[in-house]
Amino acid sequence: MRGGKQHGGGHCGSAWVCCLVYWCQGEFVPWYGVKAASKRKRDGEEETATAISSVNVEQLTGSIQQEEPAPMVQGRRSSLSGVCYLTMGLLVLLLGLVFASMYVYRYFFITQLPRESVFHCGVLYEDSLYSPFKGQLELHEDVKIYIEENYEQINVPVPQFGGSDPADIIHDFQRGLTAYHDITLDKCYVIELNTTIVMPPRNLWELLVNVKKGTYLPQTYIIQEEMIATEHVSDMEQLGSFIYRLCSGKETYRLKRRSARRRISRREAGNCHRIRHFENTFVVETVICKKS
């Protein structure tokens, strides 16, 4: 029976241990060789995978390190853009406030001020210059205030007490001139506007509105200014349109203020005319004398 256990050139010993062989790609490879080769193959694949993994980790780490500054730069750009937008927004807001203020002032405040304001006014005052013992005197006048044109027109009727002429007066703040039309003489006199005595149109308008509740202004006093007529005015257009309408066709003279106030003699009094008026909180007596 031992001699009958021969198969295809292979031989099994008495211990009944057979050596298994495999056919592998035309070669006979022992089974233990196959296992060793398989193990080496797996080890190689694991090493390759490990190497690839390490390379991928290194590449990923490098890419992360390279990409780290990008968010910081982007954050800085975003901050600068935010500051620019905020600044532009504030500028637009300020411009809007400026234009809104101009709109409110133009269409709400100015429109409440009438283009032409007419007041009939009266004032009580004491004449300490010529009538200290007569007590209170009364002066009336009609005032027209043109705020947009920036001038005032005053009509002084014939006073009750006498001694003063009726007159039409224009204070032109654009030209800086004052014109007196003495109705008694029918002559015009022009002089530079005295802003220390005459209130601007808006201020005078506010004053008269505040006292409009009563018939008269509070009791006040009188001051005097003396003037001398000098040269004749031939070119009336140079005086402006307001004064031109008042004095056109009338003899018109320039006035000059006296540098020092002095007592007017009786002889000079015959050549002088007085106009009492008020464009402030006090009465002004304008004495106009001929040049001697």
Each residue's pLDDT expressed in tens, for the chain with a length of 292 residues: 434 444 444 444 433 333 333 334 444 444 444 444 455 555 555 555 555 555 454 554 555 455 455 555 566 667 778 888 888 889 999 989 888 887 776 665 555 555 558 999 888 888 766 666 667 888 899 999 999 999 999 999 988 776 789 999 999 999 999 999 999 999 999 999 999 999 999 999 988 888 877 656 677 888 889 999 999 998 999 999 999 999 999 999 999 998 655 545 445 556 899 999 999 999 999 999 987 6
E strand or H helix at 156: strand 151-156
Distance CA 217, CA 140 (A): 11
243 contacts 177 by C-beta, under 8 angstroms:
yes
What's residue 268's pLDDT?
56
Distance CA 71, CA 73 (A): 6
Distance CA 66, CA 62 (A): 6
Q: What are phi and psi of 269, to 5 degrees?
A: -65, -30
**CA angle 184–171–256, rounded 5-degree value:** 70
The torsion of the CA quartet 203, 204, 205, 207, rounded to 10 degrees, works out to 90
- Taking the mean position of all CA atoms in its chain, how far away is CA 162? 53
Distances (CA, A) of 197 to 57, 114, 222, 243, 246: 94, 24, 12, 19, 21
Query: Positive or negative, the Cα torsion across 47, 53, 56, 61?
Result: negative
Task: Judge if pTM exceeds 0.85.
Answer: no
223, β-bridge pairs: 284
Nearest to 8 by CA among 33, 28, 25: 28
